[in-house]
Structure 1
Amino acid sequence: MKKRKLAVILAAVLTSVTMAACESTSVPEAGAATEAATAQENEKAEETTEEAKEETTAASGEASEEDDKAKADHVAELIDAIYVQERNDDTDEQCREAKEAWDALTDEQKKMVEGEHADPDYFGRDTGDASKDDPLNADDIGENELLVVSFGTSFNNSRAEDIGGIEKYLAEEFPDWSVRRAFTAQIIINHIQARDEEKIDNVEQALERAVQNKVKNLVVQPTHLMHGAEYDELCDTLADYEDMFESVTVAEPLLGQVGKDADTVNEDKESVAEAITEEALKTAGFKDIKDAEKDGTAFVFMGHGTSHTAKVTYSQMQAQMKKLGYANVFIGTVEGEPEDTACEAVIEKIKDAGYKKVILRPLMVVAGDHANNDMAGDEEDSWKSMFLATEAFDSVDTQIAGLGSIKEVQEVYAAHSGAAIKASQKSAGTGRTTEEVTALEDGEYDAKFTTDSSMFHVNEANADLGKLTVEDGKMTIHVSLASKNIVKLFPGTAKDAEKAGAKTLEPTTDEVTYSDGTKEEVYGFDIPVEALDEEFDLALLGTKGKWYDHKVKVTLA
């Protein structure tokens, strides 16, 4: 019995051990499967995490790039807002805001600035040290002011050397006159103010400064090359301030009077032609023009060009070069007006003449954007690139220098300022009465009509001349003026012209023909003349409805 119970117990134990053994063999197989599944899940989770990270990084990068672009676009908008020709009450604040926003950009963001006019060069281009330039906007002017009016340039070195060079020379030549500066391009004024914190007066600001300083005699010296659109606009602006000074006189621009046709030259054009050619030869290492010609080198002086009738001035400068015997000197213009001054036309002239080397130099007072980009730039539409693209020349070099730093050019400006100062100081002379000219037979005569203001003058097409009619001892001169800006005249003072019943002179509509063949309608007037060679009062009414006093004189041609 005991043996049987023992056997049963042993069997049970063996059975239990066997089952445990079976279980122990099956557990490891299940664990391996679980671990494999877990590993796969972990791998997938890691992949998902990496993808998420990549997506997050990409999204972050896109967001960052969008943010960079937004900041750059904001700066571009601020620059475009001050790239305007009209100053307003917000201009100073707009300039400050644009520069602060630019300074806050990273280098990469600055590269992204692009607008209608904005680009990274607006603030980022190094054009020299602005601190070397004097804006000449101080008060304490005194009674006599010599206001030097320029288009302007944002290129600091050129502004200091070229415009500043002219201003300093005039200050030395006329120590009794306070030299001040004004620019006509508000776009440039804003650029300089925003970038360099240098404030330059526009023409209206300069005139207001003169009025506040109680200036009596104002002489204005434009640094413009010719009697073009900018010169005319300057004279129109000055007309609004004439009665605020005892005298206002505008000096001649650099190249003097325009002249009748493309072959008309004068002393100013001759002096400038000689000066700029001599400077170009010296810079290039030639002893004289013949030396350069033997070397096969042609010089091209590139001006701006204009659609104004004064564009014939460029043709006259070419005629002047020919008269001086400078066969290898050519005149061109950025705008290609006149047409034979366009780059393509100049290239053909030089090719036909057989010159194989070319030196380009600006025919501009300053070496600014046109000189650095339109003439000497690396873009395919620059003059240098277009000359090289023809493969017709062995070399094409550039000289980036403005006219204003040349002493002989400064001397021409000084001569013009000096003449204007003398004109402002001249006293009225004695003349001949009507009775003294009764010897003149009835008929028509050419007569010179001169005034005390370069803003009130005979149309340049008529070379200061009017038609004097003598009938029964009475004289009347008909003059065609420069535009339709003078709408009435009155033989007498402005005060008398404003009186009730004053008999004013009404305009005629005249057609004038300029030297290039273009025609224009302007106002003309029939003016009674009491005496020849004697100044008399003649008031004028402008388009703004205000009368101004003037002195005029009629002299037989």
Structure 2
Amino acid sequence: MRKITHKKAAAVAMAAALSAALLAGCGSTAATTDSVAESTSTAASESTAAESTEETADESTADEAAAKNCADLIDAIYVQERTADTDARCEAAKAAWDALTDTQKEMVEGENADPEYFGRDTGDASKDDPRNEDEIGENELLVVSFGTSFNDSRVADIKGIEDALQAAYPDWSVRRAFTAQIIINHVQARDGEKIDNMQQALDRAVANGVKNLIVQPTHLMHGAEYDEMCEAVDEYKDKFESVSIAEPLLGEVGSDASVINADKEAVAAAITAEAVKTAGYDDAAAAAADGTAFVFMGHGTSHTAKVSYSQMQTTMQTLGYDNVFIGTVEGEPEDTACEAVIEKVKEAGYTKVVLRPLMVVAGDHANNDMAGSDDDSWLSQFKAAGCFDSVDTQIAGLGEIADIQQLYVDHTKAAMEALNG
């Protein structure tokens, strides 16, 4: 309707110009003709400019609408509950993204949607294995992880643990489940890889006629996710002849910060050795002599299991790693908050800092909260403190460390022994 209006206005302007020129007939015919031509040309230019402006506005509106539609579809699958139409929603979101121009993709913005949801390169998903095959036999080892949408980390960390377990126990079929539906949807929509959630995995085990089920979580501790996993398994216990749930990485929690165990000691030694080696030192003592501190950033939790982070700090000190510090993204416990850890490292006199995740995977928290470019990332905050000569990051999950994988193998062995006992 707006284009018709502009054309009418242009036509009126041209007619008015022509009439004015003819009525002004005090000059020569040539002058009159020139005047008419000039007036007509001006009116035509104004009409073209008006139409061009309108077309630009229409294109901008169309870009915004297309970007918003895609953002809405992404937000619709950024949920923790799977429904009957989840698969269709995942397909629709990806189709909407693929239909966008590069300009429109940069405009995608929603409650949780942004251009990186589909646009960020996190590695080759084809290298992963969702481990959701059927006809697997009577013995299943279900490896339960929170999950990550970072493909390279999923392959190195989660698949790395699963592969180690399969190699250690060839008579058991290793299968996968993620507890984060948000991540499952992300991977499915972007990469076409379908990973089972807990209910799907347990239903699949029942349908496959599994008799003996061992559940090995890759979770760090006995936190909220571990509790939810146990509740889900409990609902299916009567569908199997035997079920056993293995310990998470850090083992039993303990009553206070002073209580440590063999699992925490093994984890502390393994992750410190890996960080020290990656940084180019022979051992932690050599790094300390060079003024280098290592800061491991965990997630943090309000769950009572948060004392595990304090216990890990105690473990580091017990093992003589005075230049190793434990922090958390959430700042729970309080003394693990970024600003608190900065003060600890500063007071201890270290001038060089290496940041590394205390997480099974190197996903969003490691890449953004720890090593991101935003002002609130740990890397940025440590640099902004102005008291360190250098601040470096090691973006690698715990799951790719061989000694960590062996701990999961050991925990599974204990669960098997409990199953048989």
Q: TM-score range by the shorter chain?
A: over 0.9
Which residue does 2:293 correspond to in 1? Answer: 298
Are 2:354 and 1:359 aligned? yes
Segments of 5+ residues of structure 2 without an aligned counterpart are: 1-24
SS of corresponding position for 1:44 = helix
Residues 268-291 of structure 1 deviation map (CA, whole Å, 9 limit, x = unaligned): 000000000000011000011111
Query: What's the CA shift for 1:32?
Result: 5.4
Which residue does 2:147 correspond to in 1? Answer: 152
Q: 216, 227, 232: which one pairs with 1:232? A: 227
Which residue does 1:324 correspond to in 2? Answer: 319
Which residue does 1:521 correspond to in 2? Answer: none
**Matched AA of 1:98:** A
Structure having the higher Rg: 1
Which residue does 1:177 correspond to in 2? Answer: 172
- Correspondence 1:181-220 to 2 at 5 A: 181-220=176-215
Number of equivalent positions: 397
Query: What's the CA shift for 1:33?
Result: 2.3
2:42 and 2:341 map into 1 onto residues whose CA distance is: 68
Which residue does 1:101 correspond to in 2? Answer: 96
Segments of 5+ residues of structure 1 without an aligned counterpart are: 1-29, 427-557
Q: CA RMSD in A?
A: 0.9
Query: What's the CA shift for 1:390?
Result: 1.2
Residues 128-179 of structure 1 deviation map (CA, whole Å, 9 limit, x = unaligned): 0000000000011211111000000000000011000000000011111110
Greater relative contact order, per chain length (Cα 8 Å cut-off, separation 6+): 2
1:136 and 1:64 map into 2 onto residues whose CA distance is: 45
Query: What's the CA shift for 1:253?
Result: 0.2
Which residue does 1:260 correspond to in 2? Answer: 255
Q: 400, 414, 417: which one pairs with 1:419? A: 414
- Correspondence 1:328-339 to 2 at 5 A: 328-339=323-334
SS of corresponding position for 1:40 = helix
Q: 163, 169, 185: which one pairs with 2:158? A: 163
**Matched AA of 2:365:** H
Query: What's the CA shift for 1:248?
Result: 1.2
Which residue does 1:340 correspond to in 2? Answer: 335
SS of corresponding position for 1:359 = strand
**Matched AA of 2:58:** A
**Matched AA of 1:187:** I
1:48 and 1:343 map into 2 onto residues whose CA distance is: 65
Query: What's the CA shift for 1:31?
Result: 9.2
Which residue does 1:45 correspond to in 2? Answer: 40
**Matched AA of 2:201:** A
Query: What's the CA shift for 1:396?
Result: 0.6
SS of corresponding position for 1:302 = strand
**Matched AA of 2:68:** D
Query: What's the CA shift for 1:42?
Result: 1.8
Are 2:114 and 1:119 aligned? yes
**Matched AA of 1:115:** G
SS of corresponding position for 2:416 = helix
**Matched AA of 1:282:** K
SS of corresponding position for 1:401 = coil
SS of corresponding position for 1:180 = strand
1:65 and 1:164 map into 2 onto residues whose CA distance is: 44
- Correspondence 1:9-28 to 2 at 5 A: none
2:117 and 2:33 map into 1 onto residues whose CA distance is: 61
- Correspondence 1:309-458 to 2 at 5 A: 309-426=304-421
Residues 285-311 of structure 1 deviation map (CA, whole Å, 9 limit, x = unaligned): 001111101111110000000000000
2:37 and 2:168 map into 1 onto residues whose CA distance is: 90
Residues 318-355 of structure 1 deviation map (CA, whole Å, 9 limit, x = unaligned): 00000001011000000000000000000000111111
2:222 and 2:340 map into 1 onto residues whose CA distance is: 25
**Matched AA of 1:423:** A
SS of corresponding position for 2:28 = helix
SS of corresponding position for 1:105 = coil
Are 2:73 and 1:81 aligned? no
Percentage identity across paired residues of the two chains: 67
Q: 126, 130, 135: which one pairs with 1:131? A: 126
Which residue does 1:244 correspond to in 2? Answer: 239
Are 2:90 and 1:90 aligned? no
SS of corresponding position for 1:146 = strand
